[in-house]
Structure 1
Amino acid sequence: MRSRILRILAAVVLLGATALAVGGSLEAAGAEVSAAARAPGGPLLLVAAVLANAAGLTLSMLSWRVLVVDGGSRLPMPVAARIFFIGFISKFIPGRIWGVLAHLQLGRDAGVAPERMLSGFGLGLVIGIATGAGAGLLVAPTVLGGYAWALAPLVLLAAAAYARPGWVNRLVALAMRLARRPAVEPGSPRAVRRSILLALASWAVSGLHLWALAVLFGAPAVPSLAVSVGGFALATVAGSLAFVLPDGIGARELVLLAPLAAVMPLSAATAAVIASRLVCVLSEVATTGAALLWARLARPAPPALSRTAVPEGVR
C-alpha cells in the first residue's frame, strides 16, 4: 500500500510538472508560433519541426537501449520506450536524480537489474553529452570564422573515443567517482560504438527542427543548417549541465541565441529560440504518450482460464 501511494504521488508530481512545462511554453511562445503558422508554408514547417524532434528522441532512446541490453538483459522495445521516456520527461522536475530513480524502479519492474539500469543511464548520459558537444562544433565556422581550425583537436579526440571505446568507460568511471556514486559496469566496445553512432544521428535529426523554425522565421536555408544542428546540440548539452534548472530553461536559450544571431536578425533568432522550446516540449510529451500507449498495447494478455484447469469442486 505504501509503495502504491508513493507511485501515485510520483505520477501526480510528474504530470503536474509536465503540465506546467507545457503551459509555460505555450504562454512564452504562443504569439511567435501563431504568427509563424500564418506565414506561407508555416503549418508544414511547424509539423516538420515537431516530427523531426520526435524522431531524434526515438534515436536517443535506441542509443540508450543498446547500452542497457549490452549485458544480456532482455528489454523489449515497447518496455524500453516506456522506461526511457518516463525518465526523460522527469527532467521537468529540478534535479537529475528523478530520472535515475525512474529508470531504476521501472527497470526493476521489467526484470532488469539496477546495476544494469544505472550503467545504461551513466554511459548514456556521458555519451549524450560528449556527442552533443562534438555536434556543437558545427557552429564553429560561423561563429569563429577562420579560427575554427583551433577546435580540430576536439574532433580528433572524438574520433579517438570512437576508435577506443574504453576511453568512454574510463570517463564514466571518473564522473561517477567525482559525483561520489557507485561505479557502473563498463560497456562493451561494440555497444559503445553503436550508442555513439545512434546518439550522433539523434543530434543531427533533432537539430532539423530548429532548422525548420529558422527558415520559417527568415533565415537563409543553407547557411542556417549547420548552425541550427550544431547550435541545438550545444545548447541542449548546456541545459543538461544546468541540472538545477527544470529542463535547463534559460541556459539553453542563452547558448542557442548566439549562433542563430549570426545568420539571422536578433529579433528573428529570439523568436525561433522561443518557438523551439514549445516545439520540443510538445514533441516530448507527444512521444512519451505514444510510448506509453505502445507499451500498453504490446503488453501480453493474461492467459485464458482453461476449464480443465478449474478444480472439479469449483465448477
Structure 2
Amino acid sequence: MIDRRGLLSGLGLAAIGALAPARLLAAPLDSVLASGVLRVAVYRDFQPWSWRRDGVLVGIDVDLGLEIARRIGVKVDYLELAAGEDVDEDLRTAVWRGSLLGMAPADIMLHVPYDREFALRNDRVAIVAPYFRESFAMACNGETTDCEVPPAQLKGKRLAAELDSIPDFYLSGSFGGVLRADVRHVVSGSAAVNAVIDGSADAAVATRAQVENALHDSPGHATERKGPLPAMMSPGWDVAIAVKDNSRDLGDRVEAIMAELVDSDAFKAIFAAYGVTYRPAISG
C-alpha cells in the first residue's frame, strides 16, 4: 500500500518509472465551466503543501489549485482530505467515488505520486502533469550538532522523525540500528523539524520541502545538512495531479496549464513564498 507517508518513501522504495501520458475517455470540462468552480482536493495538515494557518487554508498546493482555476477561468473550491490508509483510498475518496458519507469527489487532486505501477493499479484515474521532485533532508541544531558528520555519529543525540515514515525507518534501522533508541516520533515531518527549531531535538529527517519551509519560517534556529544522506533508501519521487478517468478534456487542460505554469515566474514565486526551492519533476 502507498499511504501519504508512502510519498515520503519514494513510493515504497520502488524506482520511479517513466509514466506515459494516460488517455482519458470523457469530457467534463464543460461541467466545470458551467458551474464556474473547480473543486480541488488537497491533503489536510500537510505543511508546506496544504494546511491551515490561523484558520486560513494555505500552502503550495493551495496556491497551485487557485492558479489552475484562474487559468481555466473559474473560481476554486477546496476539498481538504484527511489521509486514508493508502493513496489508493485517497483517490477513491477524492477523485472517482467520493466518501461513504456522501461527500462528492473533487475535479482534480494534487500531490499524487507519479509512478507507473501505482497508476496501473488505479485505472479509474489518470495521473498527469508531474510538477515537483521531492527528496529527503536533515535539519540540525547548529549549537548542539554537526549536521555534516556520518549519521551514525549522531548516537546519543535527540532525533525526531514522523512515525512510520521513511525518515523514521532510516534513522531507526540504518547503520545497524545504533540510532533507534534516540529517535522520538512525532505526527509529521514538519513537526520533526520544528522540534529541532524549538530545541527539543538535536536533528531530524523530513522531506526537503518540510525542512526548507520550517527553516524559512524560523531563520537562524537550525541548519540543513549540505551533503547527501548516506544509505538513504529513497532517491526521491515526483508528485503530480489526478483527474477522473472520464475527464479527458479537463486533464488535457490541466496538463497544458501546468506546462505553461512551470516555466513562469508565478510558479517559482509560489514555492519561494514558502521558502521551498522549486525542483522540476524528472518524469513526463
Task: Identify, as 1 or 2, the structure richer in helix.
Answer: 1
Considering only CA atoms, is the larger Rg found in Structure 1 or Structure 2?
Answer: 1
> TM-score, normalising length from structure 2?
0.27
Which has the larger share of strand? 2
